[in-house]
Amino acid sequence: MDWGVIILKKGLSYFLIFSVAIVLFGVSAEAKKTVLTPLDKRDWHVTAPQDSDAPLRDYAILYDAGGVDGALGVIGIPSMRTYRHIKCGVDLHNFPFSGSNAGNNNGTPDGKYLYVSDKGADTIVEVNLQTGWPERIFALPKPFGIHHSAALAPNGKYLFATGELTGKMLKLRLEDGATTVLDIPPAPSAPDYPDTSKDGKYVFSGNYYHSAVMVFSQDPFKLIKEIPVGKNPHGTNVSPTNRIVTVCDKLSATLSIIDVENLRVHKVIPVGAGPLHNQIDTLGKYDYISCFVSDSTSKVDLQRFQLVDEFPVHYRPGHNSLAPDNAYYSSQNKFSTGLFTPTGIVFAVNFELQDLDETSATYGKSVKIIPVDGEPHEGRMIFASYIQRWNTGKGQDLFEKGYNLGDVHVSFDNGPGIDSKTRPQLEPVHTADSKRYWIPRDDGKPGITKDGDVYVVRVKAFSYGYVPRFIHVPQGAKVRIILTNIDKAAGLTKNPDVTMGLAAAGYYGPRTMLIGVRGMSIVGEFVARKAGEFEFYCQHFCGPLHLEMRGTLFVDPKGGQASLGVGDYDEISRQETMLDETEHEWIVGTNKLMNTLNEGKEPTI
Amino acid sequence: MNLKRFLLTALVAVCASSFAFIANVEAGVLGNGSAITDTMQIGTITSLGDRKLDIQTKFEKNSKKYSMVMHPEGYVMTALRGQFKKFKELKKGDLIAAYGWYRDGKWIARRIDILDPNDYLVKRLAADAKAGVYYKHER
């Protein structure tokens, strides 16, 4: 054979081999690019494998009811980056996710909604987690005075809420907002923080004036028992196993353990001063308690019923939340005294992330602390995998297909909620129809005087109360409230940046929301258009007896005196000033009652 | 009957009734291991069917067997980082936590979490059980 031919053939072979190698190498290099690198789970920004390997994704989302800023904060876990705020109303407190209450406080979400209570507006706001906007406002029958709406029935169709300001409890049908309202005598009565038993039988709620936990049957909805616990119970949570209820006895520095089967206190555990809220992990092993006075997170072993650890926090923890995989704990601290850069009159409060992994080098340590807007109340976490990726052209699927959680299909057509092909984008008012301004500290005598046709109401706020506690103005009056914080900020539980507030729940919520910092006074002006009895309260957390800091605004109708029975309550119940007139179709419930214990009689599981 | 005998009989009667009372008060799920009425069970999958499964409980003194059916909206996910899985992806031998409730003779699972044996909480339950502090045997 000719050498030239041989060389040519060999060259061709080498060329082919070389080309194939390049192609294979290229393919493998390309394949390598798309293979997700399994990263260590302790890494800050690591997520479960997703449809892209974007390194900045968070594996969980903390939604926090932002209190006085009227917005939900959306915060990534574990990065603690704030993604956005969702405007919901006046003074947000807490919420459950839609779906079922099976599991720990984070429940078994379906990813559709959360239902946040607005203590300032006296409403519950439904927020669509997939669009990121409020869709409906549940307007509660008045007077009610909601504090918490933390408790969902296991079947996801009913919500239970506490009327702290009027001594009532409420069961709400999510489909249409119809309610059953129970009076809880004897006065004073303050149903506070509820949770539902996971088997659909009971609702438990602390009542701090009664120093007891009330037990209701979910269906029919009625009070069946009060169980005496430590003084001024606050956070009340049912364990995932449904075997116990853990109750923070705020003024006794203890955790009462209630045996669900026998409905009695099984054990009382000392946990630290000022226990406010508690969170049980998903396996029911540990309970984490925020201790306001001792500036700490206490950890209780629920098999041994013993305090087993305590982590310092900075400072004055109120609410708290747990990552859905129990890896992190978020302490929602009410004071940041000296920690951050000042950005205005009101100092930012903070969230502090703590590492709960006992095998980690940073176990029990604070691994991140961030300033946050408002004065957040409860937060709950959800795996980020519930929230779908509707951008990049997939938004149509939201209406037509819904989404899958594994092999379970979720659609917005199978309620509760709006089943139309409309997804509202509501932005309820935060403050409106009123005026606020700051003045140098006003040292005028507390009480009511007249300045022309204006009723001038000087109110002094301190730990823990107001002077005067009762304010009477006639319906139609122009009202000017001058609020002065006279707190001495001394003693064990006081911080120098202690802020007092005055918010009159319900109709006058968006018209008050006065912030009282030390050294100056705040003035609020509004017209008292609606008659009725309106409880006002301190909306800025100021100490262990913050909840008990209350007073009453009476707007008296012509020729009479307002009371819980005399007022424009039907009109107020419609909550029409929360939204534009064209959006009123998305206000549901109002004073539509289930009325009797027999209506809505459907098993709660 | 002499006084001594009467007192002895009375003492026995009082002790017996007190014991019966205490036993009655203490009867319940707390401290006695898992119960069918618990709304969360931890166990290893022993058999799988059409959205049905059996588990053998873990970390308690006397392991028990529970049969479960999946709720129509009940889903499966990993307990760590929350990846959703299909029911058919469950395998025999998987350690799971099931959340649901007992009703009309059936334990209905609303959610199943596949647990990671290396998770600190799982390791803690195992270590505690080894040390005689059993799961659902609250003290």
Q: What kind and span of H or E run contains A123?
A: strand A123-128
Q: Please report which confidence band the pLDDT of residue A593 belongs to, taking 50, 70 and 90 as the band edges.
A: confident
Whether the Cβ atoms of residue A319 and residue A326 lie closer than 8 Å to each other: no
A469: Cα within 13 Å, side-chain hemisphere: 6
Place of tokens 């997703």: A50
Whether the Cβ atoms of residue A87 and residue A135 lie closer than 8 Å to each other: no
How many structural domains is chain B composed of? 2
**DSSP class per residue in A154-177:** TTSSEEEEEETTTTEEEEEETTT-
Percent of chain B with pLDDT over 70: 82
Q: Which residues of B touch A360 (CB under 8 A)?
A: 120
- Residue B45 sits in the same domain as residue B24: no
A493 contact partners, CB below 8 Å, separation of at least 6 = A274, A292, A293, A463, A543, A544
Nearest to A212 by CA among A227, A193, A191, A234: A227
What are B53's two structure tokens? 């499964």
Q: Which residues of B touch A112 (CB under 8 A)?
A: none
CATH architecture designation of domain A60-400:
7 Propeller (2.130)
Whether the Cβ atoms of residue A333 and residue A316 lie closer than 8 Å to each other: yes
For the cut 60, the answer to whether the pLDDT of residue A426 exceeds it is yes
- Residue B71 sits in the same domain as residue B125: yes
Whole-angstrom Cα distance, residue A486 to residue A481? Answer: 15
For the cut 90, the answer to whether the pLDDT of residue A88 exceeds it is yes
Percent of chain A with pLDDT over 90: 77
Whole-angstrom Cα distance, residue A481 to residue A386? Answer: 45
Q: Please report which confidence band the pLDDT of residue A497 belongs to, taking 50, 70 and 90 as the band edges.
A: confident
Q: What is the pLDDT of residue A17?
A: 58
Q: What is the pLDDT of residue B25?
A: 47
For the cut 90, the answer to whether the pLDDT of residue A38 exceeds it is no
Q: Which residues of A touch B137 (CB under 8 A)?
A: 303
Closest residue to B40, CB basis, from A48, A240, A324:
A240
* Residues in a beta bridge with A217: A202, A222
Q: What is the pLDDT of residue A12?
A: 54
* Residues in a beta bridge with A333: A317, A350
Whether the Cβ atoms of residue A383 and residue B77 lie closer than 8 Å to each other: yes
- Residue B13 sits in the same domain as residue B79: no
Taking residues A476-505, report their average pLDDT: 89
In chain A, which residues fall in CATH 2.130.10.10?
60-400
Q: What is the pLDDT of residue A230?
A: 97
Whole-angstrom Cα distance, residue B31 to residue B26? Answer: 9
ipTM over 0.85: yes
Nearest to A332 by CA among A273, A386, A278: A278
Closest residue to B99, CB basis, from A102, A200, A303:
A102
For the cut 70, the answer to whether the pLDDT of residue A53 exceeds it is no
Closest residue to B39, CB basis, from A198, A383, A386:
A198
Q: What kind and span of H or E run contains A473?
A: strand A470-474
For the cut 90, the answer to whether the pLDDT of residue A451 exceeds it is yes
Q: Which residues of A touch B30 (CB under 8 A)?
A: 243-244, 259, 261, 266
Closest residue to B84, CB basis, from A259, A325, A405:
A405
**DSSP class per residue in A40-108:** -TTSTT--S--SS--TT--SEEEEEE-BTT-EEEEEEETT--EEEEEE--S-B----EEEE--SSTT-E
Q: Please report which confidence band the pLDDT of residue A212 belongs to, taking 50, 70 and 90 as the band edges.
A: very high
Closest residue to B84, CB basis, from A102, A261, A385:
A385
Nearest C-alpha in A relative to B43: A283
Distance from CA of B36 to the nearest CA of A (A): 11
Whole-angstrom Cα distance, residue A414 to residue A155? Answer: 13
Q: Please report which confidence band the pLDDT of residue A34 belongs to, taking 50, 70 and 90 as the band edges.
A: very low
- Residue B57 sits in the same domain as residue B79: yes
Q: Do A405 and B77 touch (CB under 8 A)?
A: yes
- Residue B22 sits in the same domain as residue B72: no
Closest residue to A408, CB basis, from B25, B38, B75:
B75
Q: Which residues of A touch B99 (CB under 8 A)?
A: 102-103, 108, 198, 240
Q: What is the pLDDT of residue A149?
A: 81
Whole-angstrom Cα distance, residue A217 to residue A221? Answer: 5
Is B113 within 8 Å of chain A by CB? Answer: yes
Whether the Cβ atoms of residue A568 and residue A530 lie closer than 8 Å to each other: yes
Instruction: Give the residue from A237, A283, A413 with the most B CB atoms within 10 Å of its CB, the best one to mutate.
Output: A283
For the cut 80, the answer to whether the pLDDT of residue A43 exceeds it is no
Taking residues A203-230, report their average pLDDT: 96
Taking residues A550-576, report their average pLDDT: 96
- Residue B25 sits in the same domain as residue B47: no
Q: What is residue A469's DSSP assignment?
A: S
Q: What is the pLDDT of residue A30?
A: 40
The answer for A594, left when phi > 0, alpha when psi is -120 to 50, beta otherwise, is: alpha
For the cut 90, the answer to whether the pLDDT of residue A578 exceeds it is yes
Is B104 within 8 Å of chain A by CB? Answer: no
For the cut 70, the answer to whether the pLDDT of residue A32 exceeds it is no
Dihedral of CA atoms A173, A321, A357, A336 in degrees, nearest 10, equals: 170
Whether the Cβ atoms of residue B39 and residue A280 lie closer than 8 Å to each other: no
Q: Do B84 and A60 touch (CB under 8 A)?
A: no
Q: Which of residues 169-208 of A touch B (CB under 8 A)?
A: 198-200
Q: Is residue B136 in a domain?
A: no
Q: Is residue B106 in a domain?
A: yes
- Residue B26 sits in the same domain as residue B44: no
Distance from CA of A408 to the nearest CA of B (A): 6
Report pLDDT digits (tens) over A91-132: 999 999 999 999 999 999 999 999 999 999 999 999 999 999
Chain-centroid distance of CA A491 in Å reads 30
- Residue B13 sits in the same domain as residue B55: no
For the cut 90, the answer to whether the pLDDT of residue A398 exceeds it is no
The bridge status of strand A222-228 relative to strand A212-217 is: antiparallel
- Residue B47 sits in the same domain as residue B26: no
Q: Is residue B135 in a domain?
A: no
For the cut 50, the answer to whether the pLDDT of residue A70 exceeds it is yes
Distance from CA of A356 to the nearest CA of B (A): 9
For the cut 70, the answer to whether the pLDDT of residue A337 exceeds it is yes
Q: Do A386 and B78 touch (CB under 8 A)?
A: no
Whole-angstrom Cα distance, residue A137 to residue A510? Answer: 15
Taking residues A272-293, report their average pLDDT: 97
**DSSP class per residue in B65-129:** EEEEEEEEEEEEEETTTT-EE-GGG--TT-EEEEEEEEETTEEEEEEEEEPPTTSHHHHHHHHHH
Nearest C-alpha in A relative to B30: A243
In chain A, which residues fall in CATH 2.60.40.420?
435-565
Q: Which residues of B touch A241 (CB under 8 A)?
A: 38-40, 136
Q: Which of residues 420-459 of A touch B (CB under 8 A)?
A: none
Q: Please report which confidence band the pLDDT of residue A272 belongs to, taking 50, 70 and 90 as the band edges.
A: very high
- Residue B44 sits in the same domain as residue B69: yes
Q: What is the CATH number of the domain that holds B95?
A: 2.40.50.320
Query: Which range is least confidently modeled, A11-20, A527-536, A571-580?
Result: A11-20
Q: Is residue B55 in a domain?
A: yes
- Residue B54 sits in the same domain as residue B119: yes
Amino acid at B132: G
Q: Is residue B35 in a domain?
A: no
Report pLDDT digits (tens) over B79-130: 999 999 999 999 999 999 999 999 999 999 999 999 999 999 999 999 999 9
For the cut 70, the answer to whether the pLDDT of residue A3 exceeds it is no
Whole-angstrom Cα distance, residue A277 to residue A544? Answer: 12
Query: Which range is least confidently modeled, A50-59, A84-93, A177-186, A253-262?
Result: A50-59
Taking residues A343-371, report their average pLDDT: 94
Q: What is the pLDDT of residue A307?
A: 98
* Residues spanned by the domain of B8: 1-30
Percent of chain A with pLDDT over 70: 88
Taking residues B35-60, report their average pLDDT: 98
**Superfamily assignment of A435-565 in CATH?**
Cupredoxins -  blue copper proteins (2.60.40.420)
What are A104's two structure tokens? 């720990």
Q: What is the pLDDT of residue A65?
A: 96
Q: Which of residues 44-83 of B touch A (CB under 8 A)?
A: 72-83
Closest residue to B133, CB basis, from A284, A304, A357:
A304
Q: Which of residues 47-76 of A touch B (CB under 8 A)?
A: 47-49, 59-60
For the cut 90, the answer to whether the pLDDT of residue A35 exceeds it is no
Q: Is residue B48 in a domain?
A: yes
What are A56's two structure tokens? 């900045």
For the cut 50, the answer to whether the pLDDT of residue A210 exceeds it is yes
Q: What is the pLDDT of residue A200?
A: 95
A532 contact partners, CB below 8 Å, separation of at least 6 = A142, A143, A506, A507, A554, A555, A562, A566, A567, A568, A569, A572
Q: Please report which confidence band the pLDDT of residue A165 belongs to, taking 50, 70 and 90 as the band edges.
A: very high
- Residue B84 sits in the same domain as residue B24: no
pLDDT, chain A, mean: 90
The bridge status of strand A133-139 relative to strand A123-128 is: antiparallel
Q: Do B86 and A407 touch (CB under 8 A)?
A: yes
Q: What is the pLDDT of residue A391?
A: 85
Nearest C-alpha in A relative to B104: A605
* Residues in a beta bridge with A215: A204, A225
